[in-house]
Amino acid sequence: MSIDAYPHVSDWLTPNDSHLLIHTGKVDIGQRISTALVRIVQEELALPASQLDVAPVRTGCAPDEGITSGSNSIEQSGSAVAAAAATLRRHLLKAVVDQHGGTLSDWTLEAGYIHRPGTNIRINLISLARDLPPDLPVDPDLARHMPDTPPAPDMRGMADMVTGRFTFLHDIDLPGMWHARRVSPPHARASLQDIDQTVLDRITGDGLHVVRDGSFLAVTGPREWAVVKAATRLGLACTWDTGGGLPETNVFAHLAPENAQRFPVVNGTPQKAPVPEPLDAPDLSGRFERPYQMHGALAPSAALAEWTGERLFVKSHSQGIYPLREAIADSLGLAPEQVEISHIPGSGCYGHNAADDAAYEAALLAMAHPNTPILLKWSREDEHAWEPYAPAMAVQVDAKLANGRIAALSAESYGDTHRGRPRPGPNRAGPAKLLANRFRAEAMAPYISPPNMGNHAGMHRNLDPVYDIPKTRLVKNLVQSLPHRTSAMRCLGAVANIFALESMMDEAARTASADPFAFRRAHLSDQRAIAVLDALEKRLSALPPLTDGMGRGIAYAQYKNAMTRVGLAIDLTVTEKAEVELRRVTLVADAGRVIDPDGLVAQLEGGIMQAASWALYEQLAWDRNGIISCDWDSYPVIRFDNVPDFDITLLNQPDQRSVGAGEASPGPTVAAIANAIFDATGLRLRRMPFTPDAITQAALDL
């Protein structure tokens, strides 16, 4: 837990003038963790939102909570802040009792004050908090306070974003600031051979600067548009050794046992043990595939850096500022204390996009121009062509049926690593994961990650079925030396695994001539899971019947088998042109104690839309000359004309712990779409995305 490393109330909550400052190591990338933390403190201390602020997340100041990932923010930072607030509440009440008498239950916290009903004593809460010892230890065992009336949502930051007043990282404008643009190689295997000297002279003659370190190349200068134009000219003036180009290969053919490091998975954890024999004569069998896909962040990555000669200051939208600090310091031969990284919201994404790479490149350029803030922005083409991608995956599922149930199930997941983030570790794991270090004069070979053996981690996340199945055979197959750099994207392997497992559940239910709800319930002993399915079925029963040409698919999953439970149904139409039109999403979720209902709904809906885009549109294309998917035409994503209606139900469990929800809905969404397409057409699609061409080909193959 986070409070193990930061055990004092002051690590999480500090009074500051008339405000209480909340500290967290988790960054807000649109998941509203800041809103949730404010609400947690409000529940405990009854402070108005106007008296609560969330401190900037900055190395050396914020708690080091690693990387904001895995839907862990509420469970880690949220639980720490809640425990700190509960401890503060207890000691504030005790201080009042010591000063004014009575018992703890005689005093009430309300609107920023502590008072005793029936008296005129009102004590300012924040003023009293300043008198408490600074080393007050957090008591993690105190019960949470449940107010009679939930606090009003804090919409201050949201209002600034909606009205355009919010300053994103890309909007920063400092006195004396310079701009920068990178000049990208044609692809990851190319190296810079030569630059036309005439073009170089023209660029420097215009008052701009060219920074070259091996094959790392960039233009800097005080005027942004001039830098953009010069970077384009410089790119055309470069001669590259293309090293034979990118491999033009069928990646799915490489996702096979003979190319893999293989590990049986037991209770969600890979084992270094022999792989069990396959199921004998399965009744059902299917291979489900997901192509390389990208984060598709709304704006390209960016960073601002300044080198003073002694210290390096970086502003980044990285989701892991402490690990990034270690990687940058190691790369530049600095002590970690010489590098300070502040999180500033950028375009946002769930997962490892190019934010860390942009931060390091901005640092390299700042080192070349001391005492000058350098704002580096990647282009859209840079972002699409150079970000770490979600690995292509394949999941082979086989099942044996008996007495209308699944008696045995085998699931084998294949893919490359999801562990591309800069992290401290052996063999300089942090620097080797920063893109520019592959191209500098003292180049580093790309880091090859060892197998991730954590519980429900990486590729094998949600490979273990949440259902009660008498016999399971689960295998993780790590296949490396594939064409592209890969890393963590929202949900990691859970999307492909849940797509495969829930498609198989649908197929098994149909084979057994069973109702899809009844079939799933027959494989569940978790009463909260059953309650989710019951509530979903009840919501659907109130809807009008589907019209001709429509299909409905359902899916159920619990992220990591431990976090938010989600049951959802998707109603859709497949047109005569084989286009999938989403009509309605009906979802029921159990995330334990609900802290921020609006934020939770937003997370679930956002996950649905991102997963629908993966399911229907997104796939990376490349040839030997480089990445083809370099803009929104060559890498299409879902548009507003295919946004369905939403019906979201939250099953609040106030007596249960709050669990992560940011990655709970994408996996079942992909599966429900696939199941709905089958319901509408009789076509079982097993490779994402489910494009019109894929549907047409499936119909021809039928």
DSSP 463-523: TS-SS--SEEEEEEEEE-S-SS-B--BTTTTHHHHHHHHHHHHHHHHHHTT--HHHHHHTT
CATH topology of domain 171-244+296-386: Aldehyde Oxidoreductase; domain 4 (3.30.365)
Q: Report the pLDDT averaged over residues 426-448.
A: 93
pLDDT at 200: 97
Whether residue 392 contacts residue 413, with contact meaning beta carbons closer than 8 Å, is answered with no
Instruction: Kindly report the CATH class assigned to 393-417+452-701.
Output: alpha beta
Instruction: Give 269-291 pLDDT, tens digit per residue.
Output: 999 999 999 999 999 999 999 99
Whether residue 293 contacts residue 619, with contact meaning beta carbons closer than 8 Å, is answered with yes
* 347 pLDDT above the threshold of 80: no
If you search the block for the tokens 């230890």, which residue do you land on? 137
pLDDT at 415: 98
Say how far apart CA 461 and CA 411 lie, in whole Å.
12
Q: Report the pLDDT averaged over residues 51-71.
A: 91
Say how far apart CA 121 and CA 28 lie, in whole Å.
39
Q: Give 71's pLDDT tier (boundaries 50, 70, 90).
A: confident
SS3 content of the chain, % helix, strand, coil (to 5): 35, 25, 45
pLDDT at 32: 82
Report whether CATH 3.40.50.11540 matches the domain 2-163.
Answer: no
* 562 pLDDT above the threshold of 70: yes
User: Nearest-CA neighbor of 176 among 416, 412, 397, 366?
Assistant: 366
Q: Which residues pair with residue 558 across a beta bridge?
A: 565
* 410 pLDDT above the threshold of 80: yes
Percent of the chain whose predicted confidence (pLDDT) is above 70:
99
Q: Report the pLDDT averaged over residues 340-344.
A: 97
Whether residue 364 contacts residue 436, with contact meaning beta carbons closer than 8 Å, is answered with yes
Q: Report the pLDDT averaged over residues 210-226.
A: 98
Residues 6+ apart with CB under 8 A from 591: 563, 564, 565, 600, 650, 658, 659, 660, 661, 664
**Top-confidence residue, 603 or 152:** 603
What is the distance of C-alpha 644 from the center of its chain? 23
Say how far apart CA 396 and CA 659 lie, in whole Å.
30
Say how far apart CA 338 and CA 470 lie, in whole Å.
56
Instruction: Give 595-638 pLDDT, tens digit per residue.
Output: 999 999 999 999 999 999 999 999 999 999 999 999 999 999 99
205-211 LR contacts (CB < 8 Å, sep 24+) = 206/230, 209/368, 209/369, 210/234, 211/364, 211/365, 211/368
Instruction: Give 647-690 pLDDT, tens digit per residue.
Output: 999 999 999 999 999 999 999 999 999 999 999 999 999 999 99
Q: Report the pLDDT averaged over residues 147-153.
A: 79
Say how far apart CA 364 and CA 702 lie, in whole Å.
56
Helix and strand numbers, DSSP H then E, in the chain: 19, 27
Q: Spell out where 142-257 has E strands.
A: 178-182, 191-195, 209-213, 216-221, 238-241
Instruction: Give 130-142 pLDDT, tens digit per residue.
Output: 999 989 999 999 9
546-553 LR contacts (CB < 8 Å, sep 24+) = 546/571, 549/573, 549/574, 549/680, 550/583, 550/680, 551/676, 551/677, 551/678, 551/679, 551/680, 551/681, 552/676, 552/679, 553/506, 553/671, 553/672, 553/673, 553/674, 553/675, 553/676, 553/677, 553/678, 553/679
Instruction: Give 452-505 pLDDT, tens digit per residue.
Output: 999 999 999 999 999 999 999 999 999 998 999 999 999 999 999 999 999 999
- Domain ranges across the chain: 2-163, 171-244+296-386, 393-417+452-701
* 70 pLDDT above the threshold of 80: no
What's the Rg (C-alpha) of the chain?
27
User: Nearest-CA neighbor of 554 among 498, 613, 472?
Assistant: 498
User: Nearest-CA neighbor of 638 among 600, 660, 607?
Assistant: 607
Q: Report the pLDDT averaged over residues 295-301.
A: 93
pLDDT at 645: 98
SS3 87: helix
Q: Residue 47 CB: number of other CB atoms within 10 A? A: 23
Whether residue 344 contacts residue 317, with contact meaning beta carbons closer than 8 Å, is answered with yes
Whether residue 678 contacts residue 684, with contact meaning beta carbons closer than 8 Å, is answered with yes
Q: Report the pLDDT averaged over residues 214-226.
A: 98
Q: Report the pLDDT averaged over residues 195-202.
A: 97
* 538 pLDDT above the threshold of 80: yes
Residue 556, CA distances (Å) to 25, 89, 666, 694 in order: 32, 39, 11, 25
Whether residue 572 contacts residue 551, with contact meaning beta carbons closer than 8 Å, is answered with yes
Q: Label residue 673 exposed, middle or buried (CB < 10 Å: 0-12, 13-18, 19+).
A: buried
Instruction: Give 91-114 pLDDT, tens digit per residue.
Output: 999 999 999 999 999 999 999 999
Asked if the domains 171-244+296-386 and 393-417+452-701 are classified in one and the same CATH topology, the answer is: yes
Say how far apart CA 230 and CA 181 lie, in whole Å.
9
Q: Report the pLDDT averaged over residues 326-347.
A: 96
* 1 pLDDT above the threshold of 70: no
Q: What does pLDDT average to over the chain? A: 95
Q: Residue 430 CB: number of other CB atoms within 10 A? A: 25
Whether residue 479 contacts residue 414, with contact meaning beta carbons closer than 8 Å, is answered with yes
Sequence letter at residue 436: A
Q: Report the pLDDT averaged over residues 358-374.
A: 98
Percent of the chain whose predicted confidence (pLDDT) is above 90:
89
pLDDT at 274: 97
Q: Residue 286 CB: number of other CB atoms within 10 A? A: 16
